[in-house]
Amino acid sequence: MTDAKLEIQMLHDRVMVQVSEDSGERRSSGGIVIPATAQVAKRLVWGEVFGVGSHARSVQVGDRVLFNPEEQFEVEVQGRMYLVLRERDLHAVASERTEQGTGLYL
């Protein structure tokens, strides 16, 4: 049997996201470094979409999405960690195509 590479296709409304590297520590407006471990409330993070299911309507591969990283499913593919979540668990989508936006940009 040969080791053929298989393409991954997400099903239904599932989205495969890789958490952005800059989701760890952050800086306050005064320049103070705030470590990722210092959390007062639940913190949402940005990630890049690497796969979407056929029923996902508002997100496409390459978009950046805002979501809660806790209570999601992790999967490792070729040594890289990804999260798998439902489209309804996303809080925001940042993309070049907009229909109704907030007027804010990343």
pLDDT at 87: 92
Handedness of CA 44, 90, 94, 11 (dihedral sign): positive
Domains of the chain are 11-20+43-98 (2.30.33.40)
When pLDDT is averaged across residues 58-75 and rounded to a whole number, the result is: 87
- Residue 55: both structure tokens together: 């029923």
User: What amino acid occupies position 18?
Assistant: Q
How does residue 57 score in pLDDT terms, banded at 50, 70 and 90? Answer: confident
C-alpha–C-alpha distance, residues 22 and 65, integer Å: 14
- Residue 83: both structure tokens together: 């999260």
- Look up residue 79 and give its DSSP letter: T
* Residue 13, number of CB atoms within 10 A of its CB: 18
How does residue 23 score in pLDDT terms, banded at 50, 70 and 90? Answer: low
C-alpha–C-alpha distance, residues 103 and 51, integer Å: 26
Burial of 90 (0-12, 13-18, 19+ CB in 10 A): buried
> Highest-confidence range of 5-9, 23-27, 41-45, 78-82, by mean pLDDT?
78-82
